[in-house]
């Protein structure tokens, strides 16, 4: 699914969550998760361009990690979508707590309701959640979603979760214009 297909789903779905990997970042140091590694200029530009593609759709935002690259991705997408506003929709992080129990296969109600919680916890029809490749990859595995990139999600690649009533459908998200 690309942005044009996403826009069509927004017209007919009750709610939509775009769950994607952060934008391109600089190389990680060996044996580090690189909490302070920023986006590259290309990553900043691509994230802003995604925001421009989403302009007029009134997205809400969530950085699902405290790393600099996830927060910078949220800011850049936001400023592309809302070029004349301050960040009023940005919720900060970590709002939902850790992804860890959910990704370890925890079957508790909190873990089982993770996706529903993303959407029901926030006002609005459309939520954009930014995270890391490991979370996208595991989420795709759990929900049998085949991503565009077979081994590791590309930057700004992820999953669209489409809600109609109590049903959720999971589709891969990849926007060629951002590659």
Of residues 107 and 42, which shows the higher confidence score?
A: 42
Q: What's the burial of 2, exposed, middle or buried (CB within 10 Å: 0-12/13-18/19+)?
A: middle
Average pLDDT over residues 124-132: 84
* Per-residue model confidence (pLDDT) at position 178: 87
Average pLDDT score over residue span 120-129: 73
Q: Among residues of the chain, what percentage have pLDDT more than 70?
A: 78
Residue 22 confidence (pLDDT): 94
pLDDT band at 35 (very low <50, low <70, confident <90, very high): confident
C-alpha 90/C-alpha 101 separation (Å) is: 24
In a domain, 28, yes or no: no
Q: How many domains is the chain partitioned into structurally?
A: 1
d(CA 155, CA 20): 8
CATH at residue 52: 3.40.50.1240
Q: How many CB atoms lie within 10 A of CB 18?
A: 25
* Residue 108: pLDDT band with limits 50, 70, 90: very low
Average pLDDT over residues 52-74: 85
Per the domain annotation, does 100 fall within a domain? Answer: yes
Two structure tokens written together for 153: 């999600």
pLDDT at 120: 58
Q: What is the pLDDT of residue 123?
A: 60
R_g of the chain computed on alpha carbons: 15
Q: Is residue 49 part of a domain?
A: yes
- Give a yes or no: residue 29 inside a domain: no
pTM reported for the whole predicted model:
0.83
Range ranked top by mean pLDDT from 11-25, 52-66, 92-106: 11-25
Domain housing 137: 3-23+34-178
Lowest mean pLDDT among 41-45, 99-103, 129-133: 99-103
pLDDT at 103 over 50: no
- Answer whether residue 85 is part of any domain: yes
The pLDDT confidence band at residue 98, using thresholds 50, 70 and 90, is: very low
| pLDDT above 90 (res 92) | no
């Amino acid at each position: 699914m690309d942005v044009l297909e996403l826009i069509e789903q927004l017209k007919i779905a009750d709610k939509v969550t775009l769950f994607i990997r952060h934008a391109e970042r600089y190389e990680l140091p060996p044996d580090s998760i690189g909490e302070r590694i920023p986006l590259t200029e290309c990553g900043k530009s691509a994230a802003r361009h995604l925001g421009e593609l989403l302009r007029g759709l009134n997205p809400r935002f969530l950085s699902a990690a405290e790393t600099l690259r996830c927060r910078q991705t949220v800011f850049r997408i936001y400023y592309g979508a809302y070029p004349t506003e301050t960040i009023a929709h940005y919720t900060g992080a970590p709002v939902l707590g850790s992804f860890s129990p959910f990704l370890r296969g925890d079957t508790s109600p909190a873990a089982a309701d993770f996706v529903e919680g993303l959407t029901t916890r926030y006002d609005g029809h459309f939520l954009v959640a930014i995270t890391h490749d490991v979370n996208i990859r595991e989420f795709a595995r759990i929900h049998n979603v085949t991503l565009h990139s077979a081994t590791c999600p590309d930057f700004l690649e992820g999953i669209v979760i489409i809600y109609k009533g109590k049903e959720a459908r999971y589709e891969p998200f990849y926007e060629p214009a951002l590659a």
